[in-house]
Amino acid sequence: MTALRFIHAAAALAAAGSLAGTLCTGLADRGIALAFGVLIAVGELSRWSGAQVRQAAPLATAGSLSYALLGADAGRPAQADPAQVVTVVLAAALLGAVPHIWSGRSPTLDHLARRVLTVGFTAVCFQPLYDKGLFASWGGPLYALLLVALLGLAALCDAVLAAALAHCRTRWPFGPLLREELCGLLGIGSAVCATGAVMALAVAVVGLWALPVFCLPLLLTQLSVRRYAAVHATYRQTIASLARATEIAGYTPAGHARRVAALSLAVGRDLGLTEGELTVLEYAALMHDIGQLSLVDPVPAGATAGLPAAQQRRIALLGGAVVRQTGVAAAVAVMVERQADPYREQPPAARIIRAVNTYEEKTRDAGPEGPLRALEELRLGTAGDYAPEVVESLARVLARPQAVRVSAPVDDGGPGATLSDPAHRWVTHG
């Protein structure tokens, strides 16, 4: 947690220094500061804390970066220095974050730390050089490229901070987290950077009236992302309902599929699987036992790990056939079908599901010593049944202070129908 404290301390020092500097020199261009402050506050009020969104507050982020890169207002030089930029952004972000802080819906402290450091970095890179007239001779295209380059650096800075904070909070590997952040920049992250650059350029020419005009496309994009996330959440709830069919029919214990899915996701994160691979892993883990619905005689307690290899493969193939009939992606059906294959022939997701399913079955009602005994049996089975790297990853995940927890059973249609806790998508880029 040293990195977490360091990031928070750096943000606190930057905020305190900026506030002190602004109080000493006074607030310049109050109309501009108020306009950008209102824009950032509105963006923070519309911030979404849903688990499927990668950009929590795109409008506030674009407005903050635009203010940090503002050189003029309708042809008149702007007077905001880096300290004032950070102060205005922080005050507006705090004002807009009040409802989120009150409800406790999102990690506000991490969000504000990233905002302060990213905006401060951008303003320090631009404002002092602009005030010295170093960019006065730069033509339109060169000046626009300069803003885009600075926004690219700011986006990289924010990606590193987001990955570091997520690593500190979840203990997932830093490398894959950073890779996901960088991949996210190609989506709505690029739209945020482009909007920030366009707003800074437009305000320099036509004044503050450019802010509402150029905010509209980003607002529409945000609404589209939310609708897509809502559809995706409904899709996940449908799969969760299908996975519960084996529990309702009495083939598997209640909550077994969700526990396997939650622990499989944690292992997949530890092994550095990509976002797409994690999605397939989650769906396949939820539906890994659905083939038991085709059995005339149920397996006792739904424990397939102790069955002969031929019977395990038969159940897996039956499950894959069922999944294909549901319209779920073919990759999910493949993972379900191959979960009983020799691990050297399995894709990573199938290896994880097999090991985690066995661990969950062996620890169920096994007493305090069950987890250690189950891990030891898995290690003994790495010669042919379980992938050694998956077993060791499972041991690392279970050894962490905040091990994977599964939410209490809820109705699939309710608002609390989450599949696992902690959420498998970390809110980033905002």
pLDDT tens per residue across span 23-44? 999 888 899 999 999 999 998 8
Reported as type and span, the H/E element at residue 158 is: helix 140-170
User: Tens digits of per-residue pLDDT, 203-230?
Assistant: 988 888 888 888 888 888 778 878 887 8
Residues 172 and 279 in one domain: no
> What letter does residue 299 receive in the DSSP assignment?
P
pLDDT score at 427: 33
pTM over 0.85: no
Confidence band for 407, pLDDT divided at 50, 70 and 90: very low
Residue at 413 is within a domain:
no
Confidence band for 66, pLDDT divided at 50, 70 and 90: very high
pLDDT score at 134: 80
User: Tens digits of per-residue pLDDT, 337-364?
Assistant: 998 888 888 899 999 999 999 999 888 8
DSSP result, 196-235: HHHHHHHHHHH-TTHHHHHHHHHHHHHHHHHHHHHHHHHH
Distance in angstroms between the alpha carbons of the first and the last residue of the chain: 21
> How many of the other CB atoms lie within 10 Å of CB of 405?
12
pLDDT score at 423: 35
Residues 201 and 297 in one domain: no
With a cut of 80, say whether residue 56 has pLDDT above it. no
3-state DSSP helix/strand/coil % of the chain, to nearest 5: 70, 0, 25
Residues 301 and 334 in one domain: yes
User: Tens digits of per-residue pLDDT, 284-331?
Assistant: 999 988 888 877 777 877 778 778 888 888 888 888 888 888 878 889
Most confident of 61-70, 99-108, 236-245, 312-321: 61-70
pLDDT score at 106: 59
With a cut of 90, say whether residue 9 has pLDDT above it. yes
Q: Are 394 and 267 in contact (CB under 8 A)?
A: yes
Residue at 282 is within a domain:
yes
Residues 163 and 227 in one domain: yes
For residues 287 and 166, what is the distance between their CA atoms, to the nearest angstrom?
Answer: 28
pLDDT score at 48: 66
Supply 135's token pair: 């960019």
Residues 119 and 37 in one domain: yes
Residues 140 and 260 in one domain: no
Residues 108 and 256 in one domain: no
pLDDT score at 409: 36
For residues 301 and 253, what is the distance between their CA atoms, to the nearest angstrom?
Answer: 6
With a cut of 80, say whether residue 410 has pLDDT above it. no
Residues 128 and 184 in one domain: yes
With a cut of 80, say whether residue 263 has pLDDT above it. yes
Residue at 391 is within a domain:
yes
Residue at 260 is within a domain:
yes
Residue at 411 is within a domain:
no
Reported as type and span, the H/E element at residue 167 is: helix 140-170
- Three-state DSSP state, 72: strand
Last residue of a domain, one of 170, 198, 231: 231
Residues 184 and 65 in one domain: yes
Helices 388-399 and 370-380 pack at an angle, to 10 degrees, of 160
Region 381-399: what's the mean pLDDT?
A: 89
- SS3 track for 175-200: HHHHHHHHHHHHHHHHHHHHHHHHHH
Does 379 or 136 have the greater pLDDT score? 379
User: Tens digits of per-residue pLDDT, 121-150?
Assistant: 999 999 988 888 887 777 778 888 888 899
Residues 224 and 294 in one domain: no
For residues 142 and 48, what is the distance between their CA atoms, to the nearest angstrom?
Answer: 35
Residues 261 and 153 in one domain: no
| Domain region containing 216 | 2-231
Give the list of residues 6+ apart from residue 13 with CB closer than 8 angstroms, or none: none
Residue at 406 is within a domain:
no
Last residue of a domain, one of 206, 231, 256: 231
With a cut of 80, say whether residue 64 has pLDDT above it. yes
Among the residue ranges 102-111, 236-245, 258-267, 280-289, the one predicted with the least confidence is 102-111
Residue at 388 is within a domain:
yes
Last residue of a domain, one of 202, 231, 260: 231
Question: What is the number of domains present in the chain?
Answer: 2
Give the list of residues 6+ apart from residue 281 with CB closer than 8 angstroms, or none: 264, 265, 268, 273, 335, 349, 352, 353
pLDDT score at 69: 92
Residues 152 and 295 in one domain: no
Residue that the structure tokens 């500190």 belong to: 168
Confidence band for 170, pLDDT divided at 50, 70 and 90: confident
Angle CA 124–177–196, to nearest 5: 35
With a cut of 50, say whether residue 52 has pLDDT above it. no
The CATH code of the domain that includes 324 is: 1.10.3210.10
The chain-wide mean pLDDT, for the chain, equals 83
Residue at 270 is within a domain:
yes
Buried b (16+ CB within 10 A) or exposed e, 125-162: bbbeebeeeeeeeeeeeebeebbeebbeebbbbbbbbb
